[in-house]
Amino acid sequence: MRGRGLSVGLRASAIFAVTLWVTSSWAATNWNANVLHDFGSGADGQSPASGLISDAAGNLYGTTTYGGDYQGGTVFELTPTANGGWTETVLHSFGNGTDGYYLNAGVILDAAGNLYGTTVYGGPKGLGTVFELTPTAGGGWTETVLHSFGSTFEGAAFPYSGLVLDAAGNLYGTTFWGGTHYCAVLHAGCGTVFELTPTAGGVWKETVLHSFGSGTDGYYLQGAGVILDAAGNLYGTTVFGGGNDCQDAQFYGCGIVFELSPNGVGGWTETVLHDFENNGTDGSGPGTALTMDAAGNLYGTTSAGGTSNYGTVFELTPAGNGSWLETVLHSFAGPPDGVDPSSPLIFDAAGNLYGTTLVGGIVGVDWGTAFELSPDGRGTWTETLLYSFCAENDCTDGSLPVGSLVLDAAGSLYGTTLSGGANQCEDYPQCGIVFKLSPANPRAAGRNVF
């Protein structure tokens, strides 16, 4: 299975509290896997297709694509207990009326403890929503739909990705459809970057900052949101588009990395920082959000390309005069290495990168991996396979990890898998899990704290 076709297909269809503790490890690295929550019972969610976030108290928050009281997906919280377990609470069940349904992305947290996210579908026109969840004095949560997409023909539609919040309280995200440029392969607009601005009276104003699909511009933003730098510039990726053809692509173009910069007169200017190409080493199909380090370098993954066409991890470094230099840090080689890196990358304080691949891993187990990339200070990065999923009988330890990871002070990683677990679901073999991966010898020094 090659990265791009598998990635696009799974993400497009992506796809109560039974606490099951599973301990597994791969002998070469000796990381332990624990299942913190097993989805799929009663009104619980099903099939988490995104990563987690954590608050200062160590609580974890995430979303599920399906499940809940109305089968439209959920936002959930996992709270650690005194005996070492975790308690799940469903904060909101989607699909009741026009509040949206099908959550492909995770949530973000503001300084006041409010959660923000998107639904791919739903709202009055069925084209998706942006929502806020606010904690109430009684311990519950109140949902407010901040915006329903589809107000204009050329507006944004179907937000598969998550949001980012600036210091002024504005929200930014991307949509799969919409905009002023028509894509025949999508039978609609080629996608957008949008901004939501709070106004007096609690109304939020939508502004389309960029419409994709013009010339060698990118298109197909299915799950890749934007990130924000200190100067207010936005950075992101498109799976397809650009000026280079890819022989293994479903559509034209190998994808791009772009920057959107405010122009000072109310508009935004797009710059293509890198145009991926099918040259035997470069990646293709960058379908996840980027990560920026303190020096302003960008890091990301591609679902295909590289020396074996199983995907890459890349770095983009500003090279002066507005140009950027790309370096491929790792090319995935297929089993027993990973296939199709599927999640945004995270850093620890020592400069190591962590991520997941959708499939791949030890032969016979190969339903996804968690990996680490470590720099040697001389430009070389070493990949370590931390865990291969589906190592337990019937994949009770999870399979198909698609979301970003979270790192705690002891060096443990937390994430979700789209499938796997002990519970069966009506539409999928298994309902997915929340997992914890712990090194056998925890290294607290240099790690980021919750």
pLDDT value, residue 246: 81
- Residue 10 backbone phi and psi in degrees, to 5: -70, -40
pLDDT value, residue 445: 35
Q: How far apart are CA 211 and CA 178, in angstroms?
A: 8
pLDDT value, residue 362: 85
pLDDT value, residue 154: 65
Decide if 368 contacts 389 (C-beta within 8 A): yes
pLDDT value, residue 248: 57
Decide if 416 contacts 397 (C-beta within 8 A): no
Q: What is the DSSP letter of 367?
A: B
Instruction: Name the pTM for this structure.
Output: 0.90
pLDDT tens per residue across span 428-449? 678 999 999 998 765 533 333 3
Regions of the chain where pLDDT drops below 70: 1-30, 151-154, 247-251, 427-428, 441-450
| Sequence-distant (≥ 6) Cβ neighbours of residue 205 within 8 angstroms | 196, 197, 199
pLDDT value, residue 17: 30
CA dist 274 → 97, 277, 294, 345 (Å): 42, 9, 20, 18
pLDDT value, residue 442: 58
Q: Which fold is adopted by the domain 3-15+43-338?
A: Methylamine Dehydrogenase; Chain H (2.130.10)
pLDDT tens per residue across span 20-29? 323 223 334 5
pLDDT value, residue 250: 57
pLDDT value, residue 393: 78
Domain boundaries, the chain: 3-15+43-338
